[in-house]
Amino acid sequence: MRKIQLLTVCAWFALTGVYAQNNEKSLKEAYSDYFMIGVAVNQRNISDADQSSLVKKEFSSMTAENDMKPVSVHPEEGKWTWEKADRIADFCRQNGIKLRGHTLMWHSQMCDWMFYDKNHNLVKKEVLFERMREHIHTVINRYKDVVYCWDVFNECIADGGRRPNSEGKDQPLRESTFYKICGNDEFIRKAFQFAREADPKALLFYNDYNECDPVKRDRIYEMVKEMKDAGVPIDGIGMQGHYNIYGPSEEDIEAAVSKYAEIVDHIHVTELDIRVNQEMGGQLRFSRNEGVQVTNDQKLLQEAQYAAVFRVMRRHADKVDCVTFWNLSDRDSWLGANNYPLPFDKDYKPKNVYRVIRDFIPSTDNPDIKEDFKPSATCQPRQEYPQVNSQGYVRFRITAPSARYVIASAGHGGGMGGTVLKKQKDGSWMGTTLLPEDEGFHYYTLSIDGVQVIDPGTNSYYGGGRWMSGVEVPAHDDAFYAERTDIEHGNVQKILFPSKVNGDQLRVAYVYTPAGYDKKQKQRYPVLYLQHGWGENETTWPVQGKANIIMDNLIADGKALPFIVVMTYGMTNDIVFGRPFDRGKVAEDFQKVLVDELVPYIDSHFRTMADKKNRAMAGLSMGGMETHAITLARPEVFGHYGILSGGIYTPEEIKDKNQVDYIFISCGSKEWPDRVLKAVSDLKSAGFNAESYVSEGTAHEFLTWRRSLYVMAQKLFK
Ligand code: G3I
């Protein structure tokens, strides 16, 4: 739901107290048909009551972040320190959670004594292999009952570009102490051989980071393929997944998983976290983002990146059987809470990204998007984008070669707050909404590296307290607002009327007069005062709302009486959401402008039927709130009331049944239809002439309000 509409909806919910309960299924339940969901834990996570219950609720697999590593369990030759590792293993046994063993061999947090003799000289490889064998067998046998897979070797492949050896062949291995002793990859083969000896059933993984970087990906692929072809028992590849909000791209992740799936039957994402800066990987040198406030754009980029990772993994659920987050919450993260890397925040509360990951929509994994995109009706002349296809998908394209990211604030499928565009080779950025958009008009802006701008491809529309871009998704029933050339059209004129509210000033209104108004000099007309929502203004109904076109078509088809429509600024934009605002005061000031200044001005400058029976007030969203407040406060002024996605009337609120001839209440089917239907049935049972309308398949958006005007206008003044 767009930001402004979200603000308005929240306001309304806040105002009218209705809230949808989100289902409380857990991550492991949401993914039970795909793969296990795991988490790396420290001692606090399994001892603290709240944290341990979160672990038990959300996760079906666990990894010891540090406590099963060589230096933690085998700090000295012949000395074993199992306490912390045992506690984690016992927690798994007691709670039926599977345990990933991390890690048997690694160049870091390794028991360095293994490499050296008493005189601190590097030992011979045979000595090293014997010590490795004893370590691996001892650790595996201790946890054979609870560990279902082991990261046998961690991060043996070097980072960076090609490293030709003496024969010019790429030497892919990290020059660790293992490598220095062996001079080749035998130490890796031995480790897997020893692990298989120790536990013929456990799955044995090679685990590494930057595993989607094409150079490193191919090195990992080459090494594992060559070893497997040589009979080395490698069952799976661990993709650590230490990513950031800018990368790797979904395409690179897809390419890596597809490539690894060629040579192994098991792929695990072993250490997933997505930090909000441009660094990635498992290295310990990284910036902690101290004191940096995470922006909404960064949160959205993170949501899109997590959504992309899980989309790829769901597509490969035949090979991917576990995705593990590296730490329980931002508070536990090795990256520090300021890198904001995980679905649970520093207070162990689920972020929106948690819902994006949990409440995924399977159809978005392999969307079948028809490539019949056409420029939107909102495009400026000679502009090709944004485009809309026959299914309602919206595609954006802008040129911003030096941008770091581009987000379109439209396209809210999958619970995300927008569509993240991807950089194309030609320096342009393109992106298609995750899901088809609802039919009708949608506001949006572009955020380019955090700067909110209007899409240069579209006309501008006033919403959200500023001029924005818009995209029009054709509606199956859009004939009622089609610009017909076979009928007479009315006029829309901009008027300036004097006002003393909040200082002496001229205020603006747009006045629609039906076809023939100028010719039929004697005829007088009823008047509808039609209000916009929060963040909008007097241009909203004539432009986004197509109010005059809808009226022209209705009058031409004899479905509505000809009447004047007045659309003025409702002073809603001074409200800053999140800050307490005096609901009464908003309507109060506007009430004076509307009832004490504009109505008299219209009645004295247009041929109106200047009485209550021929005067109506209606509004969308916050304009509906103003209608509710003003019609109840000034029952002598309007005889017809209309609230479009802006609350309801209750019989008790309307002192005298005869004060109103007609009440219209509407909303979208994706809003609160039951409330609207009940309100109108209560009004009818109380003897009011009330009507409800629910716009099928729409939310708090313009097609709801265009259709509502179309229905309401046919009943007004009859
Ligand atoms: O245990 C000592 C403690 O006694 C001492 O007081 C404290 C003070 O520095 O250090 C503690 O050791 C720290 C250890 O974590 C346990 O908390 C080490 O300094 C610290 O470097 C170590 O960091 C771990 C890091 O691996 C070591 O490389 C991170 O927590 C852990 O998240 C990280 O995990 C690795 C994966 O195992 C492999 N892939 C990359 C990933 C991130 O680097």
Using pLDDT thresholds of 50, 70 and 90, give the confidence band for residue 713. very high
Distance CA 623, CA 620 (A): 5
Distance CA 301, CA 422 (A): 11
E strand or H helix that includes residue 589: helix 583-591
pLDDT, tens digit, 9 for 90 and up, residues 167-192: 888 889 999 999 999 999 999 999 99
Q: Is 155 a catalytic residue?
A: yes
pLDDT at 549 over 80: yes
pLDDT, tens digit, 9 for 90 and up, residues 422-470: 999 999 999 999 999 999 999 999 999 999 999 999 999 999 999 999 9
Using pLDDT thresholds of 50, 70 and 90, give the confidence band for residue 19. very low
Using pLDDT thresholds of 50, 70 and 90, give the confidence band for residue 657. confident
Ligand 1 centroid to residue 97 C-alpha, Å: 24
Q: Return the pLDDT at 585.
A: 67
Burial of residue 278 (number of CB atoms within 10 Å: 0-12, 13-18, 19+): exposed
pLDDT at 209 over 90: yes
Mean of per-residue pLDDT scores for the chain: 94
Distance CA 610, CA 614 (A): 7
Q: Best substitution site from 334, 335, 339, 342 to test ligand 1's pocket, by max atoms within 8 Å of Cβ? A: 334
- Active-site residue among 254, 271, 472, 538? 271
pLDDT at 208 over 50: yes
Q: Whose CA is nearest to atom 43 of ligand 1?
A: 282
Q: Return the pLDDT at 111.
A: 83
Which atom of ligand 1 lies at the shortest distance from residue 154's CA?
38
Q: Whose CA is nearest to atom 30 of ligand 1?
A: 334
Q: Return the pLDDT at 502.
A: 85
Using pLDDT thresholds of 50, 70 and 90, give the confidence band for residue 685. very high
- Active-site residue among 58, 155, 538, 671? 155
Which atom of ligand 1 lies at the shortest distance from residue 103's CA?
37
Q: What order of strands is seen across the sheet that includes strand 466-473?
A: 440-444, 466-473, 461-463
User: Pairing between strand 690-695 and 662-668?
Assistant: parallel
pLDDT, tens digit, 9 for 90 and up, residues 355-383: 999 999 999 999 999 999 999 999 999 99
Of the chain, the percentage scoring pLDDT greater than 90 comes to 88
Q: Return the pLDDT at 414.
A: 74
pLDDT at 558 over 60: yes
Q: Best substitution site from 44, 66, 208 to test ligand 1's pocket, by max atoms within 8 Å of Cβ? A: 66
Q: Whose CA is nearest to atom 15 of ligand 1?
A: 66
Residue in the structure block whose two tokens are 């009928």:
487
Q: Is 271 a catalytic residue?
A: yes
Which atom of ligand 1 lies at the shortest distance from residue 281's CA?
40
Ligand 1 centroid to residue 73 C-alpha, Å: 14
> If you count them, how many residues does the chain have?
718
Q: Best substitution site from 83, 104, 109 to test ligand 1's pocket, by max atoms within 8 Å of Cβ? A: 109
Ligand 1 centroid to residue 42 C-alpha, Å: 11
The ligand 1 site (C-beta within 6 Å) comprises: 65-66, 108-109, 154, 209, 240, 271, 282, 284, 334
Distance of CA 249 to the CA centre of its chain: 17
pLDDT at 694 over 70: yes
Q: Return the pLDDT at 9.
A: 46
Q: Return the pLDDT at 163.
A: 78
Ligand 1 centroid to residue 108 C-alpha, Å: 9
- Active-site residue among 72, 333, 376, 621? 621
pLDDT at 14 over 60: no
pLDDT, tens digit, 9 for 90 and up, residues 583-604: 666 678 899 999 999 999 999 9
DSSP E strands in 380-455: the ranges are 387-388, 394-399, 406-408, 419-420, 422-423, 428-432, 440-444, 446-448, 451-453
Ligand 1 centroid to residue 227 C-alpha, Å: 30
Q: Whose CA is nearest to atom 17 of ligand 1?
A: 66
Average pLDDT over residues 606-625: 97
Ligand 1 centroid to residue 334 C-alpha, Å: 7
How far the first Cα of the chain sits from its last, in Å, is 36
Q: Is 60 a catalytic residue?
A: no
* Residue-wise DSSP of 189-257: HHHHHHHHHH-SSSEEEEEESSTTSHHHHHHHHHHHHHHHHTT----EEEE--EEETTBS-HHHHHHHH
Average pLDDT over residues 268-292: 93
Ligand 1 centroid to residue 66 C-alpha, Å: 6
Average pLDDT over residues 216-244: 97
Q: Whose CA is nearest to atom 14 of ligand 1?
A: 66
DSSP E strands in 282-330: the ranges are 320-325
Distance CA 603, CA 600 (A): 5
Ligand 1 centroid to residue 76 C-alpha, Å: 18
pLDDT, tens digit, 9 for 90 and up, residues 22-74: 568 999 999 999 999 999 999 999 999 999 999 999 999 999 999 999 999 99
Q: Return the pLDDT at 498.
A: 97
